């Protein structure tokens, strides 16, 4: 699995009336980006960039997701949450 993250594009979110810089990135078979504060326009851009990245890097994504150590975003989230919350 790829041990480094790959930045796909910068993302601007708006929270409490302030613009915040973030990014869309790929790491070990998963895509990460801010969910809160994304305008519809930015969300469409993010989805388009993910689609382009998947098309250009399908072999790497498949290899990462077939690796025995692969964990989905949901599995990663569940590992970070305390048992009382889940």
Q: In this structure, are residues 25 and 33 in contact, taking their beta carbons and an 8 Å threshold?
A: yes
Q: What pLDDT is recorded for position 54?
A: 96
Q: Domain segments of the chain: what residues?
A: 6-80
User: Which pTM does this prediction carry?
Assistant: 0.81
Question: E-assigned strands of 1-86?
Answer: 6-15, 18-27, 30-32
Q: What pLDDT is recorded for position 4?
A: 82
List the chain pLDDT tens, one digit each, 86 residues: 667 889 999 998 888 888 989 999 999 999 999 888 888 999 999 999 999 999 999 999 999 999 999 999 889 888 888 766 55
């Amino acid at each position: 699995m790829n041990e480094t993250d790959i930045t796909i594009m910068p993302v601007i979110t708006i929270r409490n009336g302030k613009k915040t810089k973030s990014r869309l990135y790929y790491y070990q078979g998963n895509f990460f980006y801010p969910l809160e504060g994304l305008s519809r326009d930015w969300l469409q851009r993010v989805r388009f960039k993910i689609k382009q990245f998947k098309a250009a890097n399908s072999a790497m994504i498949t290899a990462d997701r077939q690796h025995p150590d692969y964990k989905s975003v949901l599995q990663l989230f569940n590992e970070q949450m305390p048992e009382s919350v889940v």
